[in-house]
Amino acid sequence: MDTVLIFTGSEAPQLEIHEELPRPDLVVAADSGYDYAVQLGFRVDVLVGDMDSITATEIPDHVIIERHPTDKNASDLDLAMDLVAREAPERVVIVGGSGGRLDHELSTAGLLCADRWRRIDELDWVSTRGWAYVVRRRRIIHGDVGTTLSLIPLGGDVIDVHTSGLKWDLSGDILVYGSTRGLSNVMRAPVADILIGEGCLLAVVAG
């Protein structure tokens, strides 16, 4: 399987996001992410969660539903990611998840760099706030010259960081977890190349 979209809730759908998303082989919705996906015109294949926030009253027969109890130890998005990882996709794009509770948004950012998803070659998160790329080894990012691109270490220090195409390029540097050194860099070329030796960071294109 090549590409999976996971829709999660907590924000109003933006039609322009639809135009930026890759064509999926599988569409998964985490609870109220189902409402989001349908409003954007996507056909949901799998619905995961405790169903405490979804507003749709009728779910088509083709949708596979994986229902979980309300009292659980993981978020609906976490459960959806776990399900998707079993399919060994090459790319996963999480859609939504900002504009709601701050704790949910922060936990999503932390979730992206969990070692459980290390086998996913490309893991992204797109919302009304912007687009975030998970970088574990190397990512190539396309964008307009002058676009703000922040490199944010998560879960620990990121070692041996090399970049090209940025206003302030790095060459074997360390981005320390908890520092703001990588914040608000700028693309000086249409392509930014990011290579790291160890760790996990989010390359965030501001919306």
- 124 and 142 belong to one structural domain: no
What pLDDT sits at residue 121?
94
Q: What is the per-residue pLDDT across 155-166, written as a single tens digit (0 to 9) for each? A: 899 999 999 999
The Cα 196–Cα 202 span in angstroms is 12
Query: Domain total for the chain?
Result: 2
Residue 19 has pLDDT above 90, yes or no: no
- 107 and 148 belong to one structural domain: no
Which residues are within 8 A (CB) of 104 and not within 5 positions of it... i.e. 6 or more apart?
10, 75, 97
Q: What is the per-residue pLDDT across 38-91, written as a single tens digit (0 to 9) for each? A: 988 999 999 999 998 888 888 999 999 999 988 888 999 999 999 999 999 999
- 17 and 104 belong to one structural domain: yes
The Cα 184–Cα 44 span in angstroms is 36
Q: What is the CATH number of the domain that holds 182?
A: 2.60.120.320
- 142 and 124 belong to one structural domain: no
Among 62, 97, 128, identify where a domain stops: 128
Q: What is the per-residue pLDDT across 109-120, written as a single tens digit (0 to 9) for each? A: 999 999 999 999
- 198 and 150 belong to one structural domain: yes
Output the six-digit token pair for 44: 């949901």
The whole-number average pLDDT for the span 126-146 is 93
The residues pairing with 49 across neighbouring beta strands, listed in sequence order, are 67
* Residue ranges making up the domain that contains 123: 3-128
Q: What is the per-residue pLDDT across 168-197, written as a single tens digit (0 to 9) for each? A: 999 999 999 999 999 999 999 999 999 999
Is 133 inside a domain boundary? no
Is 146 inside a domain boundary? yes
- 153 and 57 belong to one structural domain: no
Which residues are within 8 A (CB) of 75 and not within 5 positions of it... i.e. 6 or more apart?
30, 104, 107, 108, 111
In this prediction the pTM is 0.93
- 32 and 114 belong to one structural domain: yes
- 90 and 188 belong to one structural domain: no
Is 167 inside a domain boundary? yes
Is 61 inside a domain boundary? yes
- 57 and 79 belong to one structural domain: yes
- 67 and 156 belong to one structural domain: no
Is 8 inside a domain boundary? yes
Among 74, 105, 128, identify where a domain stops: 128
- 103 and 164 belong to one structural domain: no
Residue 26 has pLDDT above 70, yes or no: yes
